[in-house]
Structure 1
């Protein structure tokens, strides 16, 4: 008779069983993932009509004419109204939710797409180069592309349409009709387009849904796996399978029933989608963001950590008297209408031109932001150098920088959120990207309202901010004008990027009269590494001396309206201020009386920026020996060579 198993052998047996179970589960999810990626759309069963998104990009009008003809044919024969739309008005972030994309596009100069399709092309190209997007990003999309070109141009013939096809397949989309290539000079354009359109019609009517080329992958598509064909439920399993694969690799947050868990998230009620997808959430959380609900975020700033240790605050401490250890960085909208080249987040956040997502309650956002911020402050307890008294103060935030990432005024309830913060005696420093002038007009009093002035000409603004709006320049100018209508403190925030906008000082000077801001912050760009979405290098980063020189020249060009008031050498930042408002008896008053501000807000009566200003300390004034460093703090220098730290008074 065999002996009874001991505790040791029983434990070994249970571990072995667990490993077998995990291995089996992993293989199962791998198998399901491959099947889902290889699975063509069902061609059997009753025909079903698919409503496509039909886009065109046109230079001479040929592509628009062809797209309109296709629209008419599909509408007449497929039984669903289909409108041909210019690609410039389409938001690429909507691609994952599009069932069928039809694209008619010519090839422009040197093989490039025409201007109206340039943003869509850039979005696709950057996504294929970004490892965070993955080969399953557009796995639910089917598409067909028709190119208009001329063989006279040799190797660039229909290069744009070929690139669109390649990028879409690389992101997991299925090409249901082979690429159509029309030659405007070959005499066969009409016939080729007619044949391609006929195939598209059959796809739309549900007759040929499995024709075409599957999305590109890592080679797993070539594996031959036997098993029963999937049923209709497999489409619903796609999200769950992708999530399981990520969970096994430790890449995804906790989920239940395909929904993201969170203090405010509800999985998107009534069919309204959530702004933060699992991919976006995972990427932002890796960067240290705490995601609040479905569209907000909070993050602890390095200057908050610095002043908790008594090692100095940020430039807003020097310029305006903010207590950096009591400052909370948050945003009610992680989405933005720009894709700036210097964005710290390398475009891991969503983009959009209007609010199209589920909306969380402003009270819940305020509560969740403060809760998450204080949790992060508590985690600093016991960190070497953190002062107990500063830590205690930090648990009660008194300032909120509504900037972080995204465009805060896109959130429809931004005024209610601001009210919630002010009710708790938390000041507000809100930064907008100058694309929503009407939102600026309707904003309630903000402690200090910023507009990012990232460039001074239409061409450079397009290159630096890479805006979604086609009328971005008009929106930009209107935003500056809207800023002028505000009675509270207003700021132009300039980020200098060598080779991009630092040489436009005369153009910047012309913009001053539009918004007539109280202050102008001029800061050198912070280099955060190159990526597929940003090609900045250290050569684009100005020295503090460069920023000072730029600031002095800009002040001189204002005709005495502005003077250089403060600087923060560590942040490579300089402040210009209006002389007639903030220089009294030769002394600058750029600091803020925060208690007075809250009294004015509570009163409900009109008030102006001068009503809550305070004297600027001498150490923060431009040219001071301290360079904007608070002498009550202790400078900290880390000797990296020897691995030791030293304090300097």
Structure 2
């Protein structure tokens, strides 16, 4: 796909494809989906690494997006980047998206009620979510009312993670989530073009967003998805970019051969946890950070300035 190829409107076939993969539309252009770890948590079979790192309760976490539009076509993305959608003519209000999202999560959680292996106490708790991960699909900063959307979730006593690719630094500076993530999946511009396949020249925007992160008034994290044979290289390059942001945390996580990424990459592109750990040590050394924790099940390593981690309150 060329970078100049226009985005296509969402079609009925794309909607059917999304539903097949567990997405519930939230409003006319958002979506909500339960993740693997919510299922596991309800069965007392483990929790997301975010639970171990930050104290998030997996079965009370909503995974959502306010828009399915994205300006990246990342090789490692498990989403259907081969079926892109265009910016809608009219945006849903933050209030409508929040209510639709909560209703969708309620329906999804209801579906677990008939299982005999579910923890009934956790299942009841899941109907009252406490956290929202705004990271399901698409690029959330494309939604023009993202600051107001975050406020709406906060009004309902939900904490928020926002995961952005950093291509819209103006919006990055305007939002106030509980924790801000910037995905940084390449150590330099050349690798960025190959890994993220952006629609347009947005590398300088990402560098600007990292500078904005430095003055952010909330928790911050840089997340790197490591794809073997693609971007597990140049630890000093990553360190130089991360230095501009001075994030509280850096997460280095293995690419997982799931979803639509299987059309672009092979299982051999998944680094082992040991490989992630060794590369994390190199980045930590170049950056002057320390390893704070790791999750072998998720093949992810957490770095922080002081080697400590703190739960979200």
Same fold (TM over 0.5): yes
Report the counterpart of residue 398 of structure 1 in structure 2: 130
Q: Could you report, residue by residue, the CA deviation over 1:199-234 in whole angstroms, capped at 9, with x for unpaired residues?
A: xxxxxxxxxxxxxxxxxxxxxxxxxxxxxxxxxxxx
Give runs of aligned pairs for residues 48-63 of structure 1, distance below 5 A: none
> What are the ranges of 5 or more consecutive residues in structure 1 without an aligned counterpart?
1-86, 95-274, 594-649
Report the counterpart of residue 309 of structure 1 in structure 2: 43
Report the counterpart of residue 182 of structure 2 in structure 1: 451
Report the counterpart of residue 574 of structure 1 in structure 2: 301
Report the counterpart of residue 638 of structure 1 in structure 2: none
CA distance in 1, matches of 2:257, 2:213: 29
Structure scoring higher RCO (CA < 8 A, sep ≥ 6) equals 2
Asked if the contact 2:78–2:260 (Cα under 8 Å) also holds between the matched residues in 1, the reply is no
Report the counterpart of residue 93 of structure 1 in structure 2: 7
1:491 lines up with 2:221 in the alignment: yes
Q: 1:529 to 1:356 in 2, by over 3 A?
A: closer
How many residues get paired? 312
Shift of 1:477: 1.0
Partner SS, residue 93 of structure 1: coil
Partner SS, residue 345 of structure 1: coil
Report the counterpart of residue 195 of structure 2 in structure 1: 464
Partner SS, residue 231 of structure 2: coil
Shift of 1:441: 1.2
Asked if the contact 1:497–1:525 (Cα under 8 Å) also holds between the matched residues in 2, the reply is yes
CA distance in 2, matches of 1:432, 1:530: 20
Shift of 1:308: 0.8
1:512 lines up with 2:246 in the alignment: no
CA distance in 2, matches of 1:477, 1:92: 25
CA distance in 1, matches of 2:220, 2:278: 23
Q: Could you report, residue by residue, the CA deviation over 1:237-290 in whole angstroms, capped at 9, with x for unpaired residues?
A: xxxxxxxxxxxxxxxxxxxxxxxxxxxxxxxxxxxxxx5332321111111100
1:552 lines up with 2:281 in the alignment: yes
Asked if the contact 1:530–1:537 (Cα under 8 Å) also holds between the matched residues in 2, the reply is no
Partner SS, residue 383 of structure 1: coil
CA distance in 1, matches of 2:85, 2:232: 26
Report the counterpart of residue 161 of structure 1 in structure 2: none
Q: Could you report, residue by residue, the CA deviation over 1:112-144 in whole angstroms, capped at 9, with x for unpaired residues?
A: xxxxxxxxxxxxxxxxxxxxxxxxxxxxxxxxx
Q: Could you report, residue by residue, the CA deviation over 1:23-62 in whole angstroms, capped at 9, with x for unpaired residues?
A: xxxxxxxxxxxxxxxxxxxxxxxxxxxxxxxxxxxxxxxx
Shift of 1:535: 2.5
CA distance in 1, matches of 2:246, 2:126: 35
Partner SS, residue 571 of structure 1: coil
CA distance in 2, matches of 1:534, 1:483: 33
Asked if the contact 1:306–1:312 (Cα under 8 Å) also holds between the matched residues in 2, the reply is yes
Report the counterpart of residue 166 of structure 2 in structure 1: 434
CA distance in 1, matches of 2:243, 2:208: 13
1:336 lines up with 2:73 in the alignment: no
Shift of 1:485: 2.1
1:323 lines up with 2:68 in the alignment: no
CA distance in 2, matches of 1:477, 1:340: 18
Q: 1:285 to 1:312 in 2, by over 3 A?
A: same
CA distance in 2, matches of 1:276, 1:294: 10
CA distance in 2, matches of 1:446, 1:519: 15
Give runs of aligned pairs for residues 36-51 of structure 1, distance below 5 A: none
Match of 1:365 among 97, 120, 128: 97
Asked if the contact 1:341–1:534 (Cα under 8 Å) also holds between the matched residues in 2, the reply is no
Report the counterpart of residue 422 of structure 1 in structure 2: 154
Shift of 1:530: 6.8
Shift of 1:491: 0.6
Asked if the contact 2:109–2:126 (Cα under 8 Å) also holds between the matched residues in 1, the reply is yes
TM-score (norm 1): 0.47
CA distance in 1, matches of 2:264, 2:72: 16
1:475 lines up with 2:209 in the alignment: no
CA distance in 1, matches of 2:309, 2:247: 15
Asked if the contact 2:292–2:309 (Cα under 8 Å) also holds between the matched residues in 1, the reply is no
Asked if the contact 2:249–2:302 (Cα under 8 Å) also holds between the matched residues in 1, the reply is yes
> What are the ranges of 5 or more consecutive residues in structure 2 without an aligned counterpart?
none
Report the counterpart of residue 345 of structure 1 in structure 2: 79
RMSD (Å), alpha carbons: 1.8
CA distance in 2, matches of 1:495, 1:351: 24
Report the counterpart of residue 636 of structure 1 in structure 2: none
